[in-house]
Amino acid sequence: MKTFLKKYWKFILAFTVLNFGFMAYEFIYYGIDKTPRMKYVALITFAHAILEFGSIFLYAKMKAKNIKLEKIFACLALILGIFQIAVTPFDAVSDEKVHFLRAFEVSQGHFTATREKKISHYASNVPIEIYNSEYQLQDDHKQYNRMFENLFKNSGETVSIPYDDAASYSPFAYTPQALGLAIGRFLNFSPMICFYLGRLFMLFTFVLICYFALKLMPKYREFMLFVMLLPMTLQQCMAYSVDALLICMSFLLIASIMRAIYGEEKTIKKKLLFTIYFSGIFVVFLKHLAYAPILLLFLLIPSQKFKHKFEKYIHLIVIVGIAYFINGLFLPVTLTKDTFVSTYETTKAETDYYDLTIMSAGTFFGYHPTFLVNSMFGIVLDYGFHDAPVLIYNYIVIIFAIVLIMKNVEKFQQKKFEKLVAWAIPIIIVAMLYYVAYAMWHMFSEDGLTIRGVHGRYFLPFLPIIPFMLHPKKPYLKDKMDVDYVFLFGIFANVAIIITKFLLHF
């Protein structure tokens, strides 16, 4: 431990001062309103210190015992993820409510979205206790009161809530969460305990899948670890959003294909091919085919690793075919454009490609330049208003990522076609995401000039590809960055977000 602290004390000290400084700012900011949270300054400061330094101490101990990187990640991600679950109210994660409603129905065995006849919407009957625990923007500081009041209640009353935006997603997209909900009901837990059990099952699934992704990744493991430990990643992957399964499955798909490309094995083993099939099928159908371009990496696998020259193309067709079949298996027949509500004329928007062109240009030039960055790394970690430390951490994350890539360039021969494919994947995915927001979600500005609804968090699934896009012939900077810095940064960033959320809702 002494050796560890001696080596990293400057880094630890800098971020400790940063985090505690921001926490002090939060107390001062909220203290102006004379809220009762001020009397808990000492207790919350102590809890912050225990979480922060306890995580560092645990990491140092595991590092000293030469525990593998993926196992250390699994341990820390579980700890930080569980705290994320505890401090994040229901529906404080973007779009969590509609996805929870869909998952709740799936947990009851209703795999096809059901339409409520009286209101002509897809709706789910959920326990009143969950409805009463929903996040309310105007009452930030009362969120935990609302949660605790309903935590152990089970009146048996239900309320019907529409979830049109999630009706088109496959039931398989909610497998972990639905399983947790079903087990909770089987054990006769209260509705809110079942809700948290669903979140916990999704967190376990994320950690398990990422464990294998890190194990398989042949190059730039530090950068993939960095993306996995981003607060936005951990938040999305403990919630009820479709993004949860999509993010970890895309990591597994990228890692398994990269292993097939750059691994030392002369032929692709059946287990690795099964992993590519398994993760690839999920990635393709989870978000309306928008992330299917990740499979283009499959084209980079050397043909000699297959028995036949055209075998990899056959595999690609089969993966997409199976995914397309699964996606449409439980898709409601009555799901049409009139189900959705838009401020713009949806019929025109779906048919007029001139409008799509105008909106695309307006979106590119009209968005606030930092919106996608903010919504990728932190500012939309909650529907509430964060003053600190989230905003500053957005820029710290970017700087850290750039330095990590520049320092940790790996020397290997990369062909021009490989780099071209690496660049094409994110470009095509972003274009498809905007088209999905345009044609399926009908998210436009009132003047019809810009497409809305695409957040930076949608870019998380393909971020591990970035080093392969920017791979130079030699390192930009001397001295490779130790993986210890990545873990320490992940700990400090997540603790900052956890404490900020807690103070916001306390």
Q: pLDDT tens string for the chain (506 positions)?
A: 788 888 898 999 999 998 888 888 777 766 555 556 667 788 888 888 999 999 999 999 999 999 999 999 999 999 999 999 999 888 888 888 889 999 999 999 888 876 655 555 788 888 999 988 887 766 656 778 888 888 899 998 988 888 877 888 889 999 999 999 999 999 999 999 999 999 999 999 999 999 999 999 999 999 999 999 999 899 899 999 899 999 999 999 999 999 999 888 888 889 999 999 999 999 998 887 889 999 999 999 988 888 887 888 999 999 999 988 887 777 765 444 444 443 334 434 444 455 556 555 556 555 555 666 766 766 555 544 444 456 778 888 888 998 998 888 877 777 888 889 999 999 999 888 877 777 766 666 666 666 767 777 889 999 999 999 887 766 666 778 899 999 999 999 999 888 888 877 77
- Amino acid in position 44: I
In the numeric block, the tokens 């919407």 are attached to 121
Identify whether residues 10 and 79 lie together within a single domain.
Answer: yes
76 vs 487: CA distance, rounded Å: 9
Identify whether residues 82 and 207 lie together within a single domain.
Answer: no
CA distances from 357 to 11, 195, 309, 430 (A): 47, 42, 40, 15
DSSP state of 124: E
Identify whether residues 415 and 500 lie together within a single domain.
Answer: yes
| Nearest residue to 99 (alpha-carbon basis) of 158, 177, 166 | 166
Write down the H helix ranges in 263-370.
270-286, 311-329, 346-351, 353-366
Helix axes 2-31, 483-505, angle to 10 degrees: 20
Residue 63 — φ and ψ, nearest 5°?
A: -65, -40
What pLDDT shows up at residue 351?
40
Q: Choose the final residue of a domain: 61, 87, 113.
A: 87
The CB-side HSE value for 376 (13 A sphere, CA atoms) comes to 20
Write down the H helix ranges in 32-172.
41-64, 69-87, 96-107, 128-132, 143-150
Asked if residues 192 and 85 have their Cβ atoms less than 8 Å apart, the reply is no
| Nearest residue to 323 (alpha-carbon basis) of 376, 359, 287 | 287
The CB-side HSE value for 423 (13 A sphere, CA atoms) comes to 9
Identify whether residues 31 and 105 lie together within a single domain.
Answer: no
60 vs 362: CA distance, rounded Å: 49
Q: What total of structural domains would you count in the chain? A: 2
- Amino acid in position 256: S
The residues, any chain, with a CB within 8 Å of residue 14's CB and separated by 6 or more, are none
Identify whether residues 83 and 103 lie together within a single domain.
Answer: no
Identify whether residues 145 and 43 lie together within a single domain.
Answer: no
The range of the structural domain enclosing residue 293 comes to: 96-505
| Nearest residue to 393 (alpha-carbon basis) of 405, 401, 383 | 401
467 vs 476: CA distance, rounded Å: 13
Asked if residues 88 and 381 have their Cβ atoms less than 8 Å apart, the reply is no
Q: How far apart are the first and last CA of the chain?
A: 35
Write down the H helix ranges in 217-241.
221-228, 231-236
User: Between β-strands 158-162 and 121-127, what pairing exists: parallel, antiparallel or unpaired?
Assistant: antiparallel
Identify whether residues 320 and 241 lie together within a single domain.
Answer: yes
156 vs 163: CA distance, rounded Å: 21
Q: Where does residue 34 rank: exposed (0-12), middle (13-18), buried (19+ CB within 10 A)?
A: exposed
DSSP state of 133: T
- Amino acid in position 477: L
| Nearest residue to 242 (alpha-carbon basis) of 283, 210, 211, 274 | 283
Identify whether residues 282 and 368 lie together within a single domain.
Answer: yes
Instruction: List the structure tokens of 239.
Output: 């919630």
Q: Choose the final residue of a domain: 44, 65, 87.
A: 87
What pLDDT shows up at residue 448?
60
Identify whether residues 133 and 226 lie together within a single domain.
Answer: yes
The Cα angle at residue 347 between residues 344 and 352, in degrees rounded to 5: 95
96 vs 135: CA distance, rounded Å: 10
Identify whether residues 47 and 118 lie together within a single domain.
Answer: no
What pLDDT shows up at residue 347?
38
Identify whether residues 123 and 56 lie together within a single domain.
Answer: no
What pLDDT shows up at residue 447?
61
CA distances from 78 to 72, 164, 217, 233, 388 (A): 10, 32, 21, 13, 24
The residues, any chain, with a CB within 8 Å of residue 505's CB and separated by 6 or more, are 87, 89, 92, 140, 141, 143, 144, 384
Identify whether residues 82 and 100 lie together within a single domain.
Answer: no
Asked if the bond preceding 369 is cis, omega within 30° of 0, the reply is no
180 vs 195: CA distance, rounded Å: 8
CA distances from 71 to 67, 74, 110, 214 (A): 7, 5, 36, 9
Asked if residues 230 and 251 have their Cβ atoms less than 8 Å apart, the reply is no
Write down the H helix ranges in 263-310.
270-286
Asked if residues 461 and 247 have their Cβ atoms less than 8 Å apart, the reply is yes
Q: Choose the final residue of a domain: 56, 87, 118.
A: 87
How many other C-beta atoms lie within 10 A of the C-beta of residue 212?
17
What global pTM score does this model have? 0.90
